[in-house]
Amino acid sequence: MTTTPITGTPPSPAPATELVTVTVDGKTQQFPKGTVLLEACNQMGAGVPFFCYHPGLTSPAVCRQCLVDVKGQPKPVPSCYTPVADKMEVMTKSPRALDVRRQMLEFTLVNHPIDCPICDKAGECLLQKHYFDWDAKLARNDGIKVKKAKVVDIGPRIVLDQERCILCTRCIRVCDEVAKTHQLEMADRGDHEVLTTAPGHQLDNPYSLNTVDVCPVGALTSKDFRFAMRAWELYTTPSICPGCATGCNIEVHHSHGKIQRLIPRQNDQVNEHWMCDEGRLTYKRVHAQRLAAPMSGGVPVDWDRALDDAGRALRVALDAGPAQVGVVMNAQSTNEDLYALARLTFDHLGLGKVYLAGLDQGWSDDILVSADKNPNTAGAMAIGAGRLRTLLDLANDLKSGAVTTLLVVGTHGVIGKDGAPGALPLDRLTTLVVVGTHRDEVTAAAKVALPLAEWAESDGTFTNRLGMVQRVRAAVPPAGDSLPGWEILSHLARKLGATMEFTEAKTVFAEAKQKLPFMKDAEWGRPLLPVQLRFAGSRG
Amino acid sequence: MAVGVKVVNRPGSLAQQAYLPAIAEGLGVTFRHFVKNFFGNVTGNRKKTDIATMEYPEEKMKYPERNRGLHRLMLRDDGQVRCVACMMCPTVCPAHCITIVPEEAPDGRIEKRPMIFEIDELRCVVCGLCVEACPCDAIRMDTLDHAKPTYRRVDAILDKEELMSRGIQSTAVQGGVGAFWRERVGGQPQTPPAGAVVPAGAPHGPTPLRDHGHK
C-alpha cells in the first residue's frame, strides 16, 4: 500500500522534442511534432467534426468526416490520420472542405433511421450535432432506406441497433485496445455492412459499457440506462468511482436527486477515458435500502435524541473502561470522515482499539480494476498510521470480551458478504453505536444507529492506490435525514465533551491537509454547481 | 370684467321641453325588444332574438375548431398508444404538468412506449406546446372539452387510459412520411418500384406534408 503523494496538478507531459508551426485558417500556432492534425485544428477552435476519431483510440480514418484542405495536397486529407508537419497550411473552412464534409454527412445519413424520438443518444449524439452544425437541410434522398436489425441483444449489458450504426468502428477498437478482447466486428459490405459480434462471442468484457460511451450515435445502448432518461434531463457532477482502489474519475449523471448513470471522465494518470462495467453500477447502492432516519433502540427518533442517546451510551462505556471501547473505521469513507474519526478516537478519547473495515477483496486485472474494492484504503491506512487493526482482530476481541462497546462508522463489509469470514459476534457487545449508510445487520443490531451520507451525497476526497488524493463531490441530496460523517462525528464529539467543531467538509480537509503528509499537495478545487448536459458538454 | 357669456337656449318646442315623447319613444324600443325576445324565446326560435347570453347548461358554447381543450392520446391502427415516450412534451411544458415513465415495448417494431403517462390538468396552462412538440401526433388538445371539475386534486391528474379513451386513430404515418415523400407532397399517388419494400403502415393515397406538422 503506497501512500506516496502524487497529488495536486498532474505533472506536465515530458517536454516535446520538437515543435512545428502549423497555420490553421490563417492562425499560426506551434505544436509538438506528432500531434494529430485534428487535435491541432480543434485546439485552435476550428471545430472540425469527426465520428470515428477518439483521443484514446487509434485512428482508422473511416468516417471521412474530418476532411480538411491542406495547401499543396491535391485532395482533402483526413485530419485525424495526418500528423502535423512544419509550415503546414490548413484550410478547414474552404469551400471544398465544407463541401466534402457536408457530402460525407449526407452519405452517413442516407440509411440512418432517424429514430431520434426513441433513441437514447438523442441530445448527446454526434450525428445530430454535426447535422445541425453543418447541414440542417431536408434530405435530398427519398428512396427507401436499407432495413437492418434493431434491438439486437449482443451481451449482458448492451443492446445493439444496427440501423443506427454509422460504421465508425470505435466500439471495435475499444474492445480491442482497451479491454484487449476481440468481440465486435463488421460484417457484409456496402450499404449492408453491419456491426455484429465476432463469431462465437458476445459483448461481455468487463469494459463493454465504454462502447456505449464512445458510440457517436445510439447504436449501442446500455441496458441499465436504456429508456431511463433523455440526455438533456440529466445534470452532471464530477466525482470519483467508489468501486475499487483505482479511483477512476467519473461524472455522476443525476436527475431529480437520483443518480441515473456514471460515466468516465478523462484523467490520463488514472483511467484515461475509461472505467469498468462493475464501477458503473456502484451507484445502485446509493438508492437502495438506505438508513433514512436516526434510530435509537430500534425506533426512529430525531437527531437530538439519537445523538443524546449515542453520547450517553458511549460516555457510560468510556467511564467504565476505555480499554474495552473499540472503533471501526471504514475504507469506504472519505479522508475527511476518517480524519474526523481519527481526531475523535485518538486525540480526544485516546482509544487504542481501532479496526479497519471494508469490502472484501475481489477480482482484478492489469487494466483498471483493483482487487481492493474500497476507494480509500490508502487514505485510511495513512490516517491510521499503523494504529489500525483488522476485522479478524475485532472478531477475536469480541469473542474474548476485550471489547464490549463498539462505535462503527461506515458499515460496508463489516459483516462479510457470506457471513463466515468476517462474521462478528455483535451480540456479545453491551453497546453498539453505528453510523451507517444502509439498513443492514450492523445497523439493525445497533443500540443507536445514525444515518450516514453515501459517497455521492457528501463532499470529500478519496486516496487511490497510487496515493492520489482525488475530490469527490456531492451530486445528490442525502437520503432522508442522513448527514456526512464528519458532521455526525462533530456532533458526537460535543456530546462526549470534546471540542471538534467542523463547519463544512472543506474545513476538515484544510485541517487534514496541514496535519497529514500524504494530503500535503491535495487540492480541494473550486465549488461547482451541477451542469445540465448540453451539446457543448457532449461526451461523444 | 367683461367675461364673455354665451346664452344657449333650451330646445325650442314644448314637446322637447316636456321630454315625455322621448321617454315614450325609448320605452317603445325597450318594449319592442321585449316582445321580440320574449316571444322569440318562447317559440324556441332564439336565432331571431337579440339575446346574447346562453341558457347554460342546457345550451353550451360551440368552440372554434382550434380551441385547446382537454388532452387526449392518439392511437395506432391496432389501438396501441402512439406515444413513444420521447419526452419532448415534458421537456417543453412550461408548467411541468406531464409525467412520463418510459418502458420497453413488447412489440419490437415500437421499442419504446410510456408505462405511465399522466397530465395534471390543474397545473396545465393550456398553452398547447406539448402538441406542437410531439413528433408523432400522439398528443392532441382538440377534444373541445374542459378539464372536469373534481372534488379532489388527485382526480384532476389524468392517466394514460383516460387520455387514450378519448383518442382516435391518427392519419399521420408513424415514423414520418417515409420514402417517396416528394411524390406525396406533390399530391401524386406514389408507385413504389417493383420489388421495393413498402414500410408497414404506409398510406395508400397522397398525404400532404402539412398534415404532419412540417411547414
Whether domain A288-532 has CATH 3.40.50.740: the reply is yes
Statement to judge: residues B38 and B97 lie in one domain: no
Q: Which residue has the higher pLDDT, A212 or A5?
A: A212
Q: What would the mean pLDDT of A500-521 be, rounded to a whole number?
A: 92
Please list every residue in chain A whose beta carbon sits closer than 8 Å to the beta carbon of residue B185.
none
Q: What would the mean pLDDT of B24-47 be, rounded to a whole number?
A: 86
Domain ranges of chain A: 34-109, 110-227, 288-532
Query: In this predicted model, what pLDDT tens digit does every residue of A64-106 receive, in sequence order?
Result: 999 999 999 999 999 999 999 999 999 999 999 999 999 999 9
Please list every residue in chain A whose beta carbon sits closer than 8 Å to the beta carbon of residue B88.
117
Q: What would the mean pLDDT of A453-466 be, rounded to a whole number?
A: 95
pLDDT at A34 over 80: yes
Asked if B130 and B59 touch (Cβ cutoff 8 Å), the reply is no
Cβ distance A117 to B91 less than 8 Å, yes or no, reads no
Banded pLDDT at B199 (limits 50, 70, 90): very low
Query: In this predicted model, what pLDDT tens digit does every residue of B46-59 receive, in sequence order?
Result: 777 788 888 888 88
Domain that holds residue B28: 14-48
B191 falls within a domain: yes
Determine which of A256-270, A286-300, A441-455, B178-192 has the lowest per-residue pLDDT on average. B178-192
Asked if A517 and A340 touch (Cβ cutoff 8 Å), the reply is no
Banded pLDDT at A417 (limits 50, 70, 90): low
Beta-carbon contacts below 8 Å between A and B? 48
Banded pLDDT at A249 (limits 50, 70, 90): very high
B135 falls within a domain: yes
Asked if B143 and B70 touch (Cβ cutoff 8 Å), the reply is yes
Query: In this predicted model, what pLDDT tens digit does every residue of A381-399 receive, in sequence order?
Result: 999 988 999 988 998 999 8
Statement to judge: residues B102 and B150 lie in one domain: yes
- What pLDDT shows up at residue A15? 58
Banded pLDDT at B176 (limits 50, 70, 90): low
Asked if A248 and A368 touch (Cβ cutoff 8 Å), the reply is yes
B56 falls within a domain: no
* One fold for A110-227 and A288-532: no
B5 falls within a domain: no
Judged by phi (left if over 0) then psi (alpha if -120 to 50, else beta), residue A272 lies in left
- What pLDDT shows up at residue B148? 86
Query: In this predicted model, what pLDDT tens digit does every residue of A189-247 receive, in sequence order?
Result: 999 999 999 999 999 999 999 999 999 999 999 999 999 999 998 999 999 999 999 99
Determine which of A512-521, B40-49, B60-69 has the lowest per-residue pLDDT on average. B40-49
Query: In this predicted model, what pLDDT tens digit does every residue of A165-179 receive, in sequence order?
Result: 999 999 999 999 999
Characterize the bridge pairing of strands A158-160 and A152-153.
antiparallel
Locate cell 353550451: which residue?
Answer: B60
- Tell me, rounded to whole angstroms, the distance of Cα A305 from its chain centroid: 37
pLDDT at B201 over 70: no
pLDDT at B188 over 70: no
Residues with Cβ within 8 Å of A248's Cβ and at least 6 positions away in sequence, in order, are A240, A241, A264, A267, A270, A271, A274, A275, A276, A279, A368
Tell me the CATH number for domain A110-227. Answer: 3.30.70.20
Asked if A269 and A247 touch (Cβ cutoff 8 Å), the reply is no
Please list every residue in chain B whose beta carbon sits closer than 8 Å to the beta carbon of residue A233.
87, 91
Q: Could you give the number of structural domains in chain B?
A: 3
How far is A317 from A327, CA to CA, in rounded Å?
12
Please list every residue in chain A whose beta carbon sits closer than 8 Å to the beta carbon of residue B135.
117
For A34-109, CATH number out of 3.40.50.150, 3.10.20.740, 3.30.2270.10, 1.10.3720.10 equals 3.10.20.740
- What pLDDT shows up at residue B59? 82
In terms of CA atoms, which chain B residue is nearest residue A231?
Answer: B87
Cβ distance A144 to B91 less than 8 Å, yes or no, reads no
Q: What would the mean pLDDT of A132-143 be, rounded to a whole number?
A: 82
How far is A307 from A492, CA to CA, in rounded Å?
6
Centre a 10 Å sphere on the Cβ of residue A512 and count the other Cβ atoms it contains: 24
Of A351, A355, A435, nearest to A394 by C-alpha is A355
In terms of CA atoms, which chain B residue is nearest residue A143?
Answer: B179
Q: What would the mean pLDDT of A358-368 be, rounded to a whole number?
A: 92
Cβ distance A118 to B112 less than 8 Å, yes or no, reads yes
User: From residue A323, how far is each of A144, A288, A354, A427, B70 by CA, in Å?
Assistant: 81, 36, 11, 19, 72
